[in-house]
Amino acid sequence: MRHLRNLTLYVSPTDSLKEASEDSFPGLKMLHLTAAPQETLGVVAHFLQSMPPSILLSIDMFRADSSSSSASSLNSLLAAVAQRLVPTQLRELAVHETFQNVPGTWSMGSSDIKQLSGFMELHLLKIDTRRTVLLDEPTLLAVVKTLPKLKFLSLNPSQGWGVLKPGVTLSGLRRLVSHLPFLTHLMLAVDTQGPPDLSEFSCSHQKGLILVDLLDSRIHEDNIQTTAVFLKGLFPGLKGGAENGSHLVFKAWDVPTITYVVGPGEDGEKYRERWKHVERLMGPSLEASR
C-alpha cells in the first residue's frame, strides 16, 4: 500500500493498529475515521492513539465522525489530534458528532478548543456537534493567534451555540478576524449586547472573504443599529464583490427555529426578522443570503 493516499475506516472499541508496521502507509495524506454505530468520538480517539507515529507524519487532512456522544468524547478526540498529528503538517480538521443522548447537558468549551493551539498550517477547522458552546473569548483569541493560515473557521454551524450570551463579543470578533488575514468562511455566534468600541475602528483586510454566518446570535431591538454600523465597518467587503470579484454572503439566524435551540420566552422568528433589519441597514450593496 505504498501508493495509498486516502484512508477511510469504520472503527470499533476493539479495533487497533498497534500491530501495523511502521511503513504500512507511507505518504498517507487523508485519514477519515468514523466510529461504529452507537459509538462516540472516544473510539476514534482510541484508534488514533494506537496508530504508529510514522503513519501519521504526512497526514494533512483528518476527519472524525460519530453517531453518538458522551460528556468527554470530544475532548478525548481533540487531545488525540493534538498528541498524534503533526502541527506543521495538518491542513484540514473536521469533526462531526451527530447525536447527543441528553440534549443541552454537554458542552464544547475552552478546555476542548485550546488543545488545537499551534497547528500553524491549519487552513480549515470545522467542529459540528449538538453541544452547547461555552467558549470564552480569551481562549478563542489565543488559539486563533497560533493558526495564522486559517481560512475556514466553523464552530457548530448546524446547531448554533445554544446560549443567550455567547462568549465572543463584537469587539472580540474584530480582534479575531484581525489575526486571520486569509479568512474566507467564518461561522460562529457572538454576543451583541455589549456595545462595541467604535472610537478606534479598524476594518478587516480579508481579500477573499466569502461567508460570515453569525448562527444563532441573539439580538434585541435596541442593538440593531449599532450592530449594523459595526458589521458594515468591520466587513467593508460585504458589497457583492465589486472589489475582489466574489459575492460575500452574510447570514444570521438562517435556519429553522426547530434546529436552533430556543429557550423559554424566546421567539426565533423575531431574531430572524431583527437580523434582516440589520442587513437592510448595512446597505443595498450587501449581497444578502435571502
Give a yes or no: residue 160 inside a domain.
no
More confident residue, 187 or 248: 187
Q: Which of 75, 70, 128, 74 is nearest to 100 (CA)?
A: 70
Among candidates 143, 141, 138, 73, which has minimal Cα distance to 106?
73
Do both 266 and 192 map to the same domain?
Answer: yes
pLDDT for 111 = 96
Query: Number of folded domains in the chain?
Result: 2
DSSP state of 136: -
Distance, in Å, from the CA atom of 228 to the CA atom of 238, rounded to the nearest integer, reads 12
If asked whether residues 128 and 235 sit together in one domain, one would say no
Q: How confident is the model at residue 202 (pLDDT cuts 50, 70, 90)?
A: low
Same domain, 198 and 144: no
Please check whether residues 105 and 4 belong to one and the same domain: yes
Same domain, 139 and 201: no
Give per-residue pLDDT as tens, 66-93.
999 999 999 999 999 999 999 999 999 9
* Same domain for 203 and 133: no
| Better-predicted residue by pLDDT, 76 or 245 | 76
Calculate what percentage of the chain has a pLDDT beyond 90. 66
pLDDT digit string (tens) for 12-69?
A: 999 876 655 556 677 899 999 999 999 999 999 999 999 988 889 999 999 999 999 9
- Dihedral over Cα of 204, 206, 208, 212: its sign: negative
Same domain (yes/no): 201, 146: no
pLDDT-derived band of residue 4, with 50, 70 and 90 as boundaries?
confident
224 is in which domain, residue-wise?
183-290
The CATH number for 136's domain is: 3.80.10
Closest CA to 116 of 69, 154, 160, 83: 83
Examine the domain organization and report whether 139 and 189 are in the same domain.
no
Q: Which helix (H) or strand (E) holds 144?
A: helix 137-144
Residue 244: per-residue pLDDT: 42
Q: What is the DSSP letter of 237?
A: T
With H, G, I as helix, E, B as strand and everything else as coil, classify residue 223: helix
Kindly state the cell numbers that stand for 269.
Answer: 422568528
**Span 112-121, pLDDT tens digits:** 999 999 999 9
Residue 159 lies in a domain: no
Q: Three-class SS of residue 233? A: helix
Residue 165: inside a domain, yes or no? no
Shared domain for 16 and 88, answered yes or no, is yes
CB 48 within 8 A of CB 16: no
pLDDT tens per residue, range 124-167: 999 999 999 999 999 999 999 999 999 999 999 999 999 999 99
